[in-house]
Amino acid sequence: MPLLPVGSAAVLVELDGLDAVIALHEVLRRDPPVGAAEFVPAARTILIHFDPALTTADRLAADVALAVRTVVSQPDPGLKPADLAEVSIPVVYDGPDLAEVAALTGLRPEEVIDRHTAGRYRVAFCGFAPGFAYLTGLDPLLHVPRRDAPRTQVPAGSVAVADRFTAVYPQASPGGWHLLGRTSEVMWDVDRKPPALLPPGTAVRFVQVSA
């Protein structure tokens, strides 16, 4: 488990993959090491900010190694839905790529919607843009590659899928994911605490609504 110093008040934990990141992040969230101030998961790493007045990088490394052993011995952290904060996101499923996703998967558009709303998702990590949450738990039948030609402008609130993830674009930006629909929920608001509606670890479900 490589653990690399990042400045004087953070360390970077390198892991084998996303499943390991999710499992370790849940263990660290439930039982944070002394002095740990913030955990920032990514696809293969977790950045841990700490308070140098309360701990050291060496002490933190030992605590993280203990958490890793917990993950290895109990790969499923055993979280129940009630243990996680859940956010329901209303979606109008009229996206420009809904028919294309149906064609790629061999499903009818209604079946794509049914499978997307049936999922129970969890924010694995955030990236790309402030408030852009990568959600795991997507039905394997909806795993489709990114678009061959990315759009130069994707509207804020677009609900999309690509590879094993689903997400909501927090702001208008270029993007190559397939767009299934749109939501009026605000993903990123600097006046909200925290600004991200979907921080890592949040449970999410999508609910179909009329336009």
> What tens digit of pLDDT does each residue of 83-136 get?
556 899 999 999 999 999 999 999 999 999 999 999 999 999 998 899 999 999
Instruction: Note whether 99 and 122 are same-domain residues.
Output: yes
Instruction: Note whether 127 and 43 are same-domain residues.
Output: no
Which residue, of 73, 104, 122, is where some domain finishes?
A: 73
Q: How far is CA 9 from CA 5, 12, 48, 171, 211, in A?
A: 8, 11, 8, 31, 48
pLDDT attached to residue 76: 57
Instruction: Note whether 145 and 92 are same-domain residues.
Output: yes
Give the domain range for residue 30. Answer: 3-73
Instruction: Note whether 156 and 60 are same-domain residues.
Output: no
Instruction: Note whether 48 and 90 are same-domain residues.
Output: no
Number of domains making up the chain: 2
Which residue, of 24, 42, 73, is where some domain finishes?
A: 73
**Helix, strand, coil distribution of the chain in percent, nearest 5:** 25, 30, 40
Which structure tokens are listed for 24? 């370790």
Which residue, of 15, 43, 73, is where some domain finishes?
A: 73
Instruction: Note whether 86 and 185 are same-domain residues.
Output: yes
pLDDT attached to residue 82: 45
pLDDT per residue over 60-89, tens digit each? 988 888 888 877 666 555 554 445 568 999
Q: Per mean pLDDT, which range of 12-16, 66-70, 157-161 is the poorest?
A: 66-70
Instruction: Note whether 86 and 63 are same-domain residues.
Output: no
| Secondary structure class of 168 (helix, strand, coil) | strand
pLDDT attached to residue 75: 55
Task: Judge whether residue 190 has pLDDT over 50.
Answer: yes
Q: Between 180 and 64, where is the model more confident? A: 180
Instruction: Note whether 42 and 101 are same-domain residues.
Output: no
pTM across the whole model: 0.84
Instruction: Note whether 68 and 30 are same-domain residues.
Output: yes
Contact predicate 170/188, CB 8 Å: yes
Q: What is the CATH number of the domain that holds 170?
A: 2.40.100.10
pLDDT band at 30 (very low <50, low <70, confident <90, very high): confident
Instruction: Note whether 122 and 178 are same-domain residues.
Output: yes
Instruction: Note whether 52 and 104 are same-domain residues.
Output: no
Distance CA 78, CA 66 (A): 18
- What is the four-CA torsion angle of 178, 179, 185, 188, rounded to 10 degrees? 40
Q: What is the CATH number of the domain that holds 55?
A: 3.30.1360.40
Distance CA 133, CA 165 (A): 9
